[in-house]
Amino acid sequence: MRKIVSLVPVGLLIACSLFAAPPSVPLSEKGTSKEPQIQLAIHDPKLPLVVVVATGGTIAEKRSAKTGGSVPALSGTDLVAAVPELSKFANIGVVNFSNIDSSHMAPENWAKLSRTVDRVLAKPEVTGVVVTHGTDTMAEGSFFLDLTLKSNKPVVFTGAMRDASSPAPDGPGNILDAVTQVISKNATNWGVTVTLNQYVNAAQYVRKTQTTNVQTFESGEKGYLGYVFNGEVTRFNDCLKRRKIPLTEPLPSVSFLTTYAGDDGRFVRYAVDRGAKGIVIDSLGAGNVNAKTFEAVLYALSKQIPVVITSIVWEGAVEPSYGDVGGGADLLKHGCILSRPEDLGGPKARILLMVALAKYGNDTKKLQEIFNY
Ligand code: ASP
């Protein structure tokens, strides 16, 4: 007998008929119809309960003859239905959070996602959560949740590089591996991970490295956390260092831009004049900008706008190695925050600055501490 379970109130089991569509119930105790609903199908109370929170991305897309490209097509409920093997080792709940390509994700979406995932994880019956998400901004979205989630239960982001109408979609296998990871005893205390194509990456280090290949997520010199194969997780590494900042809203506007040879600093000035509350600059090499960009940085600092220096180079940190105008040592001396001892990269540094500013305000010492942790 398959049971359909409502988590509201917690622990109340409502038995429904086999194969009946699970009812939607509010996720929060005082839920309104506008809040994401949770659908739970408990077919074996002895098995762990994993909730899939679906946000969209290629995993939920299909080729459209009308547009000539992939477009949102499948709900989270459809994604789970495509992996019947899941029922052998888990009960699966679904939250149809959104269905958007992740290029349309914004920090406000991730703030709402973080609150939603925390509400799901707060239910004692839930072992962990799988978030399905587009790969384009998965590295940033997973890092946002890694920073802000209150719960320490496992959260695995996954997605797909091939859409659901492809002859060999990678989505179903990735969901299977993600659920496997959530319930595995070998996969504890990793924080939020990005798990695709069997490799487990820490949210803080992961980057998308290939535009179209299923093996796109890498952790570079930091290394994978583990590997999922045939229902088992092999643990390679612990995730010893994670920043946690309580989610505070509203999130301030933080600009991220890249410098380049011949930059005249106009984009830094533009960000200042348009009211940015913080600026992240992907600098050159170990942390250098040219003289004109340096002048623009001084302009930002003179308006008490924190400036974080990251690097366009993937590996290594931003260091105070160069002492001439706009070199890392000069930027540090004038009050910039260098992204070290490891460089998070511009997009993630932007998330960190945004979340930190929202919680602590423009407190230079505190921001230094958070970045240089
Ligand atoms: N454009 C897609 C997205 O990020 C790419 C993917 O999911 O693989 O939503």
Longest CA–CA separation in the chain, Å:
74
Q: Which residues line ligand 1 (CB under 6 A)?
A: 57-58, 101-103, 134-136, 159, 161
| Residue 138 CA, closest ligand 1 atom number | 4
- Cα(237)–Cα(260) distance, integer angstroms: 36
Chain length of the chain: 373
Class of domain 3-235: alpha beta
For residue 151, the CA-to-ligand 1 centroid distance in Å is: 27
Ligand 1 atom with the shortest distance to the CA of 102: 9
Atom of ligand 1 nearest to the CA of 58: 7
**Residue from 58, 70, 98, 131 whose mutation best tests the ligand 1 pocket (most atoms within 8 A of CB):** 58
Which tens digits make up the pLDDT trace of 251-293? 999 999 999 999 999 999 999 999 999 999 999 999 999 999 9
Closest ligand 1 atom to Cα of 159 = 7
Distance CA 169, CA 163 (A): 6
What tokens were used for 177?
Answer: 């591996």
Active site residue 58: yes
Residue type, 123: K
Segment 195-240, tens digit of pLDDT: 999 999 999 999 999 999 999 999 999 999 999 999 999 999 999 8
User: Rounded to the nearest whole angstrom, what is the distance from the C-alpha of residue 56 to the centroid of ligand 1?
Assistant: 8
| Distance (Å) from CA 332 to ligand 1 centroid | 37
Task: For the chain, count helices (H), then strands (E).
Answer: 9, 20
Q: What is the pLDDT of residue 1?
A: 39
Q: What is the pLDDT of residues 331-353, one digit of tens each?
A: 999 999 999 999 999 999 999 99
Helix-strand-coil split of the chain, %, nearest 5: 30, 20, 50
Burial class (CB in 10 A: 0-12, 13-18, 19+), 335: middle
Peptide bond into 48 cis (omega under 30): no
Give 330 Cα–ligand 1 centroid separation in angstroms. 39
**Position 48 confidence tier, pLDDT thresholds 50, 70, 90:** very high
Collapsing DSSP to helix, strand or coil, 88 comes out as helix
Helix (H) or strand (E) holding 128, with range, is strand 126-132
Residue found by looking up tokens 């890392």 in the block? 328
CA of 137 to the centre of ligand 1 (A): 8
Close Cβ partners of 350 (under 8 Å, ≥ 6 residues apart): 254, 255, 256, 280
Residue 38's pLDDT is: 86
Best of 59, 74, 103 for a ligand 1 pocket test (most atoms within 8 Å of beta carbon): 103
DSSP per residue over 51-68, as a string?
Answer: EEEE--SGGGEEE-TTTS
pLDDT tens track for 93-130: 999 999 999 999 999 999 999 999 999 999 999 999 99
pLDDT 10s digits, 297-313: 999 999 999 999 999 99
Q: Give the torsion through C-alpha atoms of 196, 198, 200, 205, to 10 deg.
A: -50
**Residue 20 DSSP class:** P
Identify whether the C-beta of residue 137 lies closer than 8 Å to the C-beta of residue 103: yes
Catalytic one among 55, 58, 132, 137? 58
The CATH label, of 1.10.579.10, 1.10.630.10, 3.30.70.60, 3.40.50.40, for the domain at 254-371 is 3.40.50.40
The phi and psi torsions of 99 (rounded to 5 degrees) equal -140, 75
Q: Which range has the worst mean pLDDT, 27-36, 66-75, 316-325?
A: 27-36
